């Protein structure tokens, strides 16, 4: 009987000092398992010698595969590429900075095998800076859980396990890798959360800071729109437009009463300008909703583009892959 295959997807950006140690820990964690494994490193435009280190690892372990981006496209794009070119029935995503513990990989795989579509890691005992990482993360997780309706303790944990059919060809961009459970919820997936080990960073420095908060908030707005209105954008724009027109009609009716019943002048009243503005903006909002409907149709009827560009595949020689990746540029 053919063994089940599990894919481990790891974005790499300037982690030359970490990748060899990480590979050794992964090999130790999975060596006694019944599954076969492949390890897919995505070099996200590293400026150090990460790629050379990855090639050395590949030379000693045929399970290792490498995707080399042409430049830095971000963690979400790297994870998306790893998902697309993975072959396993179970896919595990993790960071390359050694803060995620490879010893937790078997736990994730086993939990997915129990019937869960997504198994989310929860870094309950985090080893990060309290003010710049842990406090924003706490409030961010509360906000994301409230807006998306998917309650998790740790949306920022990259260490997750997935059934491959849930994430295959999933398009991620911006900071949306953290919202995968919310994005996948549209499919009616079954998810759970388990406590995973979190370790202090030994080498290199974190690529994240408070500056990413603004990007996360903007992506959160996008996620809310995608979850609630991506298939019916006219309902949000049209609804706002109708409310504006209604407000304009009410104020216009009052002005008409004032002009023709009370015989009072209305030319200089601010309410007249409010009436005209509400009616104008209302029709503008409805028009925007109609345009969004047309764009939504175009998107859902076959737009197939990635926001990354791949320079090189290493270790995929015997696989039927599309080596002519499309980009958004």
| pLDDT tens, residue by residue, 237-291 | 777 888 999 999 999 999 999 888 888 888 878 898 999 999 999 888 888 877 7
Per-residue pLDDT tens over the stretch 12-41 = 999 999 999 999 999 999 988 878 999 999
312 located within any domain? no
191-195 β-sheet, strand order: 191-195, 118-122, 160-163, 90-93, 5-12, 36-43, 64-69, 310-314
Which residue, chain included where needed, has tokens 């490879």?
102
Provide the pLDDT confidence category of residue 2 given band limits of 50, 70 and 90.
very low
Alpha carbon distance 71, 258 (integer Å)? 65
Alpha carbon distance 253, 264 (integer Å)? 14
71 located within any domain? yes
Alpha carbon distance 81, 177 (integer Å)? 12
Are 161 and 50 members of one domain? yes
Are 66 and 163 members of one domain? yes
Are 180 and 69 members of one domain? yes
Mean per-residue pLDDT, 285-300: 71
Alpha carbon distance 276, 217 (integer Å)? 33
Provide the domain count of the chain. Answer: 2
- What lies within 8 Å, CB to CB, of 288 at 6+ separation is 237, 241
Which residue, chain included where needed, has tokens 């059934």?
163
Are 54 and 195 members of one domain? yes
271 SS3 class: helix
Are 110 and 250 members of one domain? no
Are 115 and 171 members of one domain? yes
pLDDT for the residue numbered 86: 93
Provide the pLDDT confidence category of residue 327 given band limits of 50, 70 and 90.
very low
Question: What CATH code is carried by the domain that includes residue 130?
Answer: 3.90.550.10
Interstrand relation of 310-314 and 90-93 (parallel, antiparallel or unpaired):
unpaired
Segment of 70-74, 153-157, 188-192 carrying the highest mean pLDDT: 70-74
pLDDT for the residue numbered 7: 95
pLDDT for the residue numbered 329: 30
pLDDT for the residue numbered 108: 95
Are 101 and 204 members of one domain? yes
55 located within any domain? yes
Q: What angle do CA 260, 265, 268 make, to 5 degrees?
A: 140
92 located within any domain? yes
85 located within any domain? yes
Per-residue pLDDT tens over the stretch 109-135 = 999 999 999 999 998 888 767 666 667
Provide the pLDDT confidence category of residue 156 given band limits of 50, 70 and 90.
confident
Task: Tell me which of 214, 229, 244 is where a domain ends.
Answer: 229
Task: Print the domain residue range for 242.
Answer: 233-300
Any bridge partners for residue 68, and if so which? 43, 312
Asked if residue 297 has pLDDT above 80, the reply is no
200 SS3 class: coil
Are 66 and 191 members of one domain? yes
Asked if residue 202 has pLDDT above 90, the reply is no
Mean pLDDT estimate for the chain? 83
Alpha carbon distance 172, 162 (integer Å)? 15
Asked if residue 319 has pLDDT above 80, the reply is no
DSSP string, 221-234: HHHHHHHHHTT-HH
**Smallest Cα–Cα separation from 10: which of 70, 81, 93?**
93
Q: Could you give the percent of the chain with pLDDT greater than 70?
A: 81
**Per-residue CA distances from 237 to 226, 275, 281, 287, 295 (Å):** 14, 19, 11, 8, 14
Residue 278 · residue 253 · CB < 8 Å: no
Are 129 and 239 members of one domain? no
Are 218 and 251 members of one domain? no
Note the residue count of the chain.
Answer: 329
202 located within any domain? yes
Q: What angle do CA 24, 205, 216 make, to 5 degrees?
A: 105
Are 270 and 124 members of one domain? no
Provide the pLDDT confidence category of residue 1 given band limits of 50, 70 and 90.
very low
Are 237 and 138 members of one domain? no
pTM of the entire predicted model: 0.76
């Amino acid at each position: 009987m053919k063994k089940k295959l599990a894919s481990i997807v790891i974005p790499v950006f300037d982690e030359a000092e970490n990748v060899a140690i990480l590979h050794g820990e992964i090999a130790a964690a999975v060596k006694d398992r019944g599954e076969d494994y492949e390890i897919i490193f995505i070099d996200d435009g590293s400026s150090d010698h990460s790629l050379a280190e990855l090639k050395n690892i590949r030379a000693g372990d045929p399970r290792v595969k490498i995707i080399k981006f042409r430049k830095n496209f971000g963690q979400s794009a790297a994870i998306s590429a790893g998902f697309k070119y993975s072959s396993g029935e179970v896919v595990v995503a993790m960071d390359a900075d050694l803060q995620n513990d490879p010893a937790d990989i078997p736990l994730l795989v086993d939990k997915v095998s129990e019937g869960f579509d997504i198994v989310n890691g929860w870094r309950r005992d985090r080893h990060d800076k309290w003010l710049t990482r842990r406090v924003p993360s706490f409030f961010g997780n509360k906000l994301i859980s409230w807006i998306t309706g998917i309650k998790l303790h740790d949306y920022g944990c990259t260490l997750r396990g997935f059934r491959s059919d849930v994430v295959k060809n999933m398009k991620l961009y911006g900071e949306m890798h953290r919202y995968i459970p919310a994005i996948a919820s549209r499919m009616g997936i079954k998810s759970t959360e388990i406590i995973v080990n979190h370790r202090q960073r030994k080498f290199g420095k974190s690529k994240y800071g408070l500056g990413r908060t603004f990007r996360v908030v903007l992506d959160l707005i996008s996620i809310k729109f995608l979850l609630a209105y991506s298939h019916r954008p006219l309902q949000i724009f049209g609804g706002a437009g109708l409310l504006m027109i209604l407000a304009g009609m009410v104020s216009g009716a009052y002005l008409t009463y004032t002009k023709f019943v009370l015989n009072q002048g209305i030319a200089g009243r601010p309410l007249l300008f409010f009436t005209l503005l509400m009616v104008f903006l209302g029709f503008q909002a409805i028009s925007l909703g109609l345009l969004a409907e047309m764009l939504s149709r175009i998107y859902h009827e076959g737009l197939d583009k990635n926001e990354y560009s791949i320079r090189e595949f290493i270790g995929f020689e015997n696989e039927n892959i599309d080596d002519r990746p499309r980009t958004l540029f």
